[in-house]
Every structure is written in C-alpha cells, then in structure tokens.
C-alpha cells in the first residue's frame, strides 16, 4: 500500500506543471522630451532637474521622472490608459539672473503639460513638452467657489463667489480690475458642431469676422461673462496679504432672506452654506433683465460690479467646472468694454442673433485658473495654454458639494501669507470642504 502511495506522490510532482503563458500585450515605454519655448535663444536654461510627473487618470497613480541634461527621459512600463504629463522646473532668481542677465524678484517657474493623453498599446509617439514661464504677478486668483451647495439642503448656486488676493509686498488697488468666466468647448459630444484645433479645443481663428493677422487661439481668451470692479483709480486699496471677495449675491446665505419676488428664501441646513454679507463686491443683474432672478437682490452696502457681458440670470458660475476664470487688468488707453466680440467658431454660419463672446488679450491677464470637471471621463480639452495655466483645478466632490478650489499657502513672511503661484493650478490649488472667504489653506 505504502509503495503505491509514494508512487502517486512522485507522479503528482511531475504530472502537473506550470505552462509558459504570455499575453498579446504588455505595458508601454514612453519617450518624453522637454525643451524651453524661448522667444530668444541667446541663453540656455538648465534641463537637468526638470521634473516630469506622469499621472494615470484611472488609478490616480503618479510616477515622477527627471529629465537628463538633454531634456530626455523614458517613462517605463506604463499601463495603457489616459495620462496627465506635467513638467516643471523652478529656477532660482539668482540663477535666472546669472544665466539671462535679467534681474528678477522671484524664482522663475517653467511649466509644460499634456492633459488627458491617451497612451495605447504599442504607443510609439514621443511626447514633446515645451516649458514656458507664465505671468507670475502681484494679483492672484485665490479662491473660486463655483460648485455651489446642496440642491435640497443648501443654497444651490446662490452662494458662489470668487476671491482675488494681493500676493505682493505693496498695496494694490482693485479699481478697474476685470475678471471673466471664459469659454471653450465644454461638451465633447458637441465637437462635430465646431471648428476645432488639434488639441480638441475651439479654433477661434475660424470665427466669423476674426482678423487673419492675429493669433486668435494663443494670444486671446474668450469670455461669456465679463466684469469690472468699479472705482476711481485709488478707491479700493488692498494691502499686502489681503483679499477682495466678489459674491454672486452678498448676503448671509445661512439665514432666510426675502427675495426680489417678496418670498422668503431659506436653506434647510445652514452648515452647508456661507455668509457672504461681508463681500467686497457683488453682481446685480436685475437692471438689465426683464425677469430678474428672485435670489438676486441688491445689498446696498456692497458695491456692484460693472457688467460688460453676462450669461444667465445672475453671476452663476458653472457648477460642473467646465468654464475657467481669468483676472485681467487692461492696459492704459484700453477700454475693455469696447473689446471685440465673436461668435463660436461653428462649422455652420452663425445666425445674426447667435451669442458673441468678448475677445480678451492674453497679455492683459494677471492670473488665470483653468477649471475642469471632477471626473476624468467628463474632462474637456484645456482652454488655457501653459503660459496662462499649465494645469487645472477642480472640486473633487463635484457639483453642489460646498467645496471650493483654493490656492495653497507657500510661506508666511512677517505675518504676510504668500500664496503658491507656479502658474500650474494642479500644483498651486487644493480644496476647502466648505468654501470660506478670506481663509487660507
């Protein structure tokens, strides 16, 4: 009996064995090159030390690579899928001055990015990233509360606001600052209606009446809502480290109030919304609407914005995060209200009554924040190039969740908070669970 058992044991060891199994497809190695997009080539900025971040949008797994001195690297063994590829380097003010001969007050950040890049099996393309330095200025967009709060228990979109911040060490004046909610292609499904660029965004050069001698896509942005802060020039001083808050409706949204139609507007759960009664400015649309929104009441204590262009019945930001925001200061002798407006670049000729959008020169943009939907599958091609915003911000919880996007604190100097501004919102912004004007993160 025993010998039979040993015989069986021995036969088992040989009878069953592992096969050599191989699948048809394997992970992908991707070549990336980084280079500076310099208008002048009289000097060479360093490529060693350029960090390249490769983010798999399905798994959220981030891998970091460093470019060689020739600006090349290989991102190995990537699982096919959608990726964000971001490159950045910070050159110290001292190094920058010694290389270029131009003295600068702050460290200079160069960014480049490719968003939502599909990398499939057998991907052999080389991804070229052109590093650009954006406008890093004194004014920054600090917080955007576009998501709104709960549709049933909160204030829906009524409690939206945007906050601008003096990130410099000197007093600035808010007078005549403009800001815009900028447009682009917002639904991928409607892309066949429009003339598009290779990036998938609108090709504004093909708008009816667009001059041929301008770079309509790179030198301008387009606004569906365009506002200006009033003032005489030095009426609204903002000290270093202080903000201005612009509310859709500058009231305390936690407590009931009487709407323009005489009915009480209240929220079921005040903890989901905020008090905007101390905002610096508000938008008030009633004067130019035949049927104003009931919640758009005028707080007489808060100055109203000048409205050059509007969309809808109040300064209602897109709760899904499909539009973006820019802070603008027009040059001297410029009248922003008179800037030209163009139709969407539709394939069909637009009707005479079709919406037109302000064309805003990018050179007057002080700061811009690209906003995108929270889910990868809903994201749309970027509207801003790396010169305006190399990345984007979003509220992870999505719409009507009370969240806001808020710029990170970089450091505090003598009690003054300096906010992070690398011209890449992916890096510069994070979130507040409950939007809160004039707070820091």
Partner 1 sequence: MNKKVKTLLATLFSPLFLFAQSKQDSIGLDQAKKSLNYYTDSVSLLSYNFAKESSYYLSSLMPNKVSRIALRYDFHKGHYTLSQGATKINAGTLLTEGATKLGAIKLFGAFSYKKTFEDSTRFSHQTRSNTSTPYYFGSPAYVHYERSVYTFKAMAGRTFFSDKFDIAIGTDYKVGNHFSTNDPRGDIGEYQFNLIGSLGYNLSKKIKIGLAYRNGYGQEKVNIGYKNPRYYESSVYPMYYNHLINGYGEGKPVLEANNRVYTDNQTREGFDVYLDINSSSAGNFYLSGNYITEHQRYFHSTVDGFTEFSEYDLNKMSINLLWLKNLQSASIGALLNYNDLTGKDFNMVFLANNYIYARNNISAKIFFNKAGKKIAYNHFIQVSKTIEESIDGVKANDISFENLLFVGGTGVRKNCIKNSFFGLSFMAQYKLPLNDTFKVLQANEAYFTRYVIYHDYLYNTSSHLAGSIAGEYGFPIFNTMQASFKINATYTQKLEQKLLNRNIVSAPGKDRFSSNISLNLYF
Which residues of this chain interact with partner 1, rule CB under 8 A?
Answer: 4-5, 8-9, 12-13, 15-19, 21-28, 58-61, 63, 77, 79-81, 120-121, 374-377, 396-399, 401
Q: Which is nearer to partner 1, 81 or 350 (CB)?
A: 81
DSSP of 286-324, one letter per residue?
GGG-SS--TT----TTSPBPEEEE--TTSS---TT--SE
Q: Which is nearer to partner 1, 9 or 105 (CB)?
A: 9
Q: Of the candidates 24, 191, 26, 22, which has an alpha carbon nearest to the alpha carbon of residue 120?
A: 26
Q: Which is nearer to partner 1, 58 or 128 (CB)?
A: 58
Q: Which is nearer to partner 1, 62 or 354 (CB)?
A: 62
- Alpha-carbon distance of 405 to 369, in angstroms, equals 10
User: What is the nearest approach in angstroms of partner 1 to the Cβ of residue 32?
Assistant: 15
User: What is the nearest approach in angstroms of partner 1 to the Cβ of residue 427?
Assistant: 19
Strand partners, 365: 328
Q: What is the CA radius of gyration of the chain?
A: 26
Mark 6-29 as b/e (b = at least 16 C-beta within 10 Å).
eeeeeeeeeeeeeeeeeeeeeebe
Q: Which is nearer to partner 1, 74 or 363 (CB)?
A: 74
Q: Which is nearer to partner 1, 138 or 378 (CB)?
A: 378
Q: Of the candidates 223, 387, 195, which has an alpha carbon nearest to the alpha carbon of residue 315?
A: 223
User: What is the nearest approach in angstroms of partner 1 to the Cβ of residue 22?
Assistant: 8
User: What is the nearest approach in angstroms of partner 1 to the Cβ of residue 75?
Assistant: 10
User: What is the nearest approach in angstroms of partner 1 to the Cβ of residue 163?
Assistant: 23
CB 57 within 8 A of CB 82: yes
DSSP of 239-293, one letter per residue?
-TT-EEEEESS-SBTTS-EE-TTS-EE--S-GGGS-B-TT-SEE---GGG-SS--
In angstroms, the first-to-last Cα distance of the chain is: 77
Q: Which is nearer to partner 1, 44 or 76 (CB)?
A: 76
User: What is the nearest approach in angstroms of partner 1 to the Cβ of residue 118?
Assistant: 10
Q: Which SS3 state, helix, strand or coil, does residue 204 take?
A: helix
CB 22 within 8 A of CB 341: no
Q: Which is nearer to partner 1, 268 or 397 (CB)?
A: 397
User: What is the nearest approach in angstroms of partner 1 to the Cβ of residue 53?
Assistant: 13
- Alpha-carbon distance of 255 to 116, in angstroms, equals 42
Q: Which two tokens stand for residue 390?
A: 């190399």
Q: 98 CB contacts (<8 Å, ≥6 apart)?
A: none
User: What is the nearest approach in angstroms of partner 1 to the Cβ of residue 29?
Assistant: 11
- Alpha-carbon distance of 416 to 204, in angstroms, equals 41
User: What is the nearest approach in angstroms of partner 1 to the Cβ of residue 252?
Assistant: 26
Q: Which is nearer to partner 1, 195 or 374 (CB)?
A: 374
User: What is the nearest approach in angstroms of partner 1 to the Cβ of residue 80?
Assistant: 5
CB 180 within 8 A of CB 226: yes
Question: How many other C-beta atoms lie within 10 A of the C-beta of residue 190?
Answer: 9
Q: Which is nearer to partner 1, 63 or 313 (CB)?
A: 63
């Amino acid at each position: 009996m025993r010998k039979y058992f040993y015989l069986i044991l021995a036969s088992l060891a040989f009878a069953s064995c592992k096969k050599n199994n191989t699948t048809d497809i394997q992970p992908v190695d991707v070549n990336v090159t980084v280079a500076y997009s310099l208008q002048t080539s009289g000097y060479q900025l360093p490529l060693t030390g350029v960090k390249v971040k490769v983010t798999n949008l399905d798994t959220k797994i981030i891998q970091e690579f460093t470019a060689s001195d020739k600006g090349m690297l290989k991102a190995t063994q990537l699982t096919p899928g959608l990726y964000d590829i971001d490159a950045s380097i910070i050159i110290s003010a001292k190094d920058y001055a010694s290389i270029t001969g131009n003295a600068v007050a702050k460290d200079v950040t160069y960014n480049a990015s490719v968003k939502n890049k599909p990398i499939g099996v057998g991907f052999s393309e080389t991804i070229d990233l052109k590093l650009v330095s954006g406008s890093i200025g004194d004014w920054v967009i600090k917080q955007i509360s576009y998501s709104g709060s709960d549709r049933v228990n909160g204030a829906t979109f009524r409690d939206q606001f945007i906050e601008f911040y003096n990130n410099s060490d000197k007093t600035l004046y808010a007078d005549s600052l403009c800001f815009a909610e900028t447009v682009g292609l917002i639904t991928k499904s409607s892309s066949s209606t429009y003339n598009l660029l290779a990036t998938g965004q609108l090709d504004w050069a093909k708008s009816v009446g667009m001059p041929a001698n301008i770079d309509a896509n790179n030198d301008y942005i387009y606004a569906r809502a365009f506002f200006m802060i009033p003032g005489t020039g030095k009426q609204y001083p903002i000290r270093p480290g202080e903000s201005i808050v612009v509310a859709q409706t500058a009231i305390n949204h936690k407590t009931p109030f009487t709407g323009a139609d005489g009915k009480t507007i209240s929220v079921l759960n005040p903890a989901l919304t905020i008090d905007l009664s101390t905002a610096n400015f508000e938008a008030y649309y009633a004067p130019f609407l035949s049927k104003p929104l009931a919640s758009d009441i005028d707080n007489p204590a808060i100055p109203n914005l000048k409205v050059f262009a509007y969309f809808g019945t109040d300064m209602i930001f897109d709760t899904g995060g499909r539009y973006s925001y820019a802070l603008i200061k027009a040059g001297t002798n410029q009248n922003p209200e008179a800037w030209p407006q163009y139709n969407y670049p539709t394939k069909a000729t637009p009707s005479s009554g079709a919406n037109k959008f302000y064309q805003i020169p990018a050179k007057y943009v002080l700061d811009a924040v690209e906003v995108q939907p929270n889910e990868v599958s809903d994201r749309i091609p970027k509207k801003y190039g790396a010169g305006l915003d190399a990345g984007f911000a979003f509220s992870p919880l999505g719409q009507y969740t009370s969240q806001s996007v808020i710029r990170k604190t970089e450091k505090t100097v003598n009690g003054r908070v300096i906010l992070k501004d690398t011209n890449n919102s992916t890096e510069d912004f994070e979130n507040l669970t409950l939007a809160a004007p004039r707070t820091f993160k």
